[in-house]
A and B are shown apart, each in its own frame.
Chain A
Amino acid sequence: MTPADPSGTGGPQAGPVPGLYPWPFDGDLRPDNTALLVIGMQRDYLCAGGWLDCAGHDIAPLAALSAPLGSTLSALRRAGLAVLHLREGHRPDLNDLPETKRWRSARMGAEIGHPGPLGRHLVRGAPGTDLVLPALPGEDIIEVTGRSGFYGTDLDALLRLRGLRNLVLAGALTDGMVQATLREANDRGYECLVLEDLCASTSPAQHAEQIRMFALAGGLWGSVGRSADLLAALEDPR
């Protein structure tokens, strides 16, 4: 955590970040009130033999995320942002797997809990849930069973405890965990920025549709921007 600066404002003011609107809405962008959520950067999504690959999806757009997201992650760490990692996975006894979700995954040809090349699909502790961009000490990992990172987790408690009000979302899938987490974060009062160049879905068209949807009413759930603009804003305190 970034210590508060002597002026008592909690770090230099940065921003704003261009996008659907100058983000954040009130201009209060500081390293100590802003978190990066790295979403779904796990082998089950990105790697050959992982869950999505076994289900017949094109993982190339997801695999292409790891290098640019990795370098932005490093830069945002240096800028002092809090980092949290969200990943999808179930308890090994599958007590948290709804029948509907199991049925749909079986229909996709890669039933959750069944063995695959990277261990049991989407089961905590299996190699498939390993993060492609590992968490550093002090960076919490949130185990997600649903679409949204807030459902049935301590994410909201962790963010509130640290006074993290601005959320930067990046990762996979744009039309899965990213959009579901964005919607719930917004309902809880967080000010969100989706990094469109650092999110992806299994098809570029689905990603583009989501990004277009986020633009509804000029940013109904937050802003959409680009990683280079965020980094520039943070490196150039006003």
Chain B
Amino acid sequence: MTVPARPYDWPLSGTPGPADTALILIDMQIDFCGEGGFAHQAGSDFALLQATIAPTRRVLRAFRAAGHFILHTREGHRPDLSDLNDNKRWRSARAGAEIGSPGPCGRMLTRGEPGWQIVPELVPLPTEPVIDKPGKGAFHATDLDHLLRRRGIRNLVFAGVTSDCCVHTTMSEACDRGYDCLLLEDCTASVLTAHHATILNLTLRDHGLFGAVTTSTAVLEALPAPTNAPSGAPDPL
């Protein structure tokens, strides 16, 4: 059974299963969704991002129970900032939140700092790879493509923040690499609602320019009920 979605029922290859379908959570970090994080320091309305945590948590729990491969991405730079583009640094300083400079949650968008951590509601299990990325797209300068191909993954379900920045860039990269992408519209957000709407429209254009769009409810209804409790550690959620 496919997932009811716009502009096509997803995925094109038919029923998505644990063997070929992964869930990827983009940048659900304190720096974006938390008080005192990078987004907050840059003056953004991070409450819009925070609102994605609850539905994303339901989806994460269901995908874990169904045995899907789950990946998390984390935007952040090496502590020596050797991977920080000059223009990215300049832009962040201009926004009042220079990457690498101290904030209430430690050095902003810097690996190892409190703000760089994933929010406690969505903390990864040890078996769920975390991709540390210096760019907007999670494929740039990372082993994401390698991890997905090794598992035979061809369908990607996207949740996370922000829809107009890292989520869209990563979906675009994934699309070019041949992955069939599904965006969960209530599990992603932008700090600007107009941008969020623009991205949804862009995704839907031309019969799914970057994949398909649906809701967390639709994907949860389409997932087969787990026949058994998953083996191993109990779900911490």
**A residues neighboring B (CB under 8 Å):** 91-93, 95-99, 137-138, 140, 145-146, 151-154, 156-158, 161-162
- Please tell me which stretch of B42-50, B53-61, B90-98, B135-143 contacts chain A, meaning at least 4 of its Cβ atoms lie within 8 angstroms of it: B135-143
Across the two chains, which residue of chain B brings its CB closest to A160?
B85
Complex contact B129–A162 (CB within 8 A):
no
Is the beta-carbon distance between B146 and A145 smaller than 8 angstroms? yes
Residues in A with CB closer than 8 Å to B142 are: 152-154
CB-nearest residue of chain B relative to A141? B78
Please tell me if B234 contacts chain A, counting CB pairs below 8 Å. Answer: no
Q: Which of A140, A152, A156 contacts B143 (CB 8 A)?
A: A152
Indicate whether A93 sits within 8 Å of B150 (C-beta atoms), given known contacts A145-B143, A157-B83.
no
Cα A154 to Cα B76 in complex, Å, equals 13
Chain B nearest Cβ from A6, distance in angstroms: 21
Contacting pair A96 B143 (CB below 8 A): yes
User: How far apart are A89's CB and chain B's nearest CB, in angstroms?
Assistant: 12
* Cβ contacts under 8 Å, A138 to chain B: 80, 82
Rank and list the top 9 A-B pairs by shortest CB-CB distance, nearest first.
A152-B143, A154-B141, A157-B141, A152-B146, A95-B129, A93-B127, A138-B80, A98-B150, A140-B82
Question: Quick one: given A93-B129, A138-B80, A154-B134, are A161 and B146 in contact (CB under 8 Å)?
Answer: no
Q: Is the CB of B147 within 8 A of A158?
A: no
B83 A153 Cβ-Cβ under 8 A? no
Number of residues from B at the complex interface, CB < 8 A: 21
Given contacts A153-B141, A157-B134, A157-B140, is CB(A91)–CB(B82) below 8 Å?
no
Known: A93-B126, A93-B129. A154 touches B83 (CB 8 A): yes
Interface of A is mostly: loop
- Per-residue 0/1 for B197-215: is the Cβ within 8 Å of any A Cβ (1 yes, 0 no)? 0000000000000000000
Which residues of B are found within 8 Å of A158, using beta-carbon distances?
82-83
* Sample (29) of A-B pairs whose CB atoms are under 8 Å apart: A91-B129, A92-B126, A93-B126, A95-B127, A95-B129, A95-B147, A95-B150, A95-B151, A96-B129, A96-B143, A138-B80, A138-B82, A140-B80, A140-B82, A140-B83, A145-B146, A146-B146, A151-B146, A152-B143, A152-B146, A154-B134, A154-B141, A156-B141, A157-B83, A157-B134, A157-B140, A158-B82, A161-B83, A161-B86
For the complex, give the distance between the alpha carbons of A98 and B143 in Å.
12
Known: A91-B129, A156-B141. A96 touches B146 (CB 8 A): yes
Residues of B within 8 A of A95 (CB): 127, 129, 147, 150-151
State A91–B124 Cα separation when bound (angstroms): 14
The answer, yes or no, to whether B145 is at the interface (CB within 8 Å) is yes
B151: chain A residues within 8 A (beta carbon): 95
A171 to chain B, nearest CB (A): 20
Is B78 touching A140 in the complex (CB atoms < 8 A)? yes
Question: How does the 8 Å CB contact mask read for B48-87 relative to A, with 1 for contact and 0 for none?
Answer: 0000000000000000000000000000001010111110
Contact B143 A153 (CB under 8 A): yes
Bound complex: CA of A40 vs CA of B85, how far in Å? 27
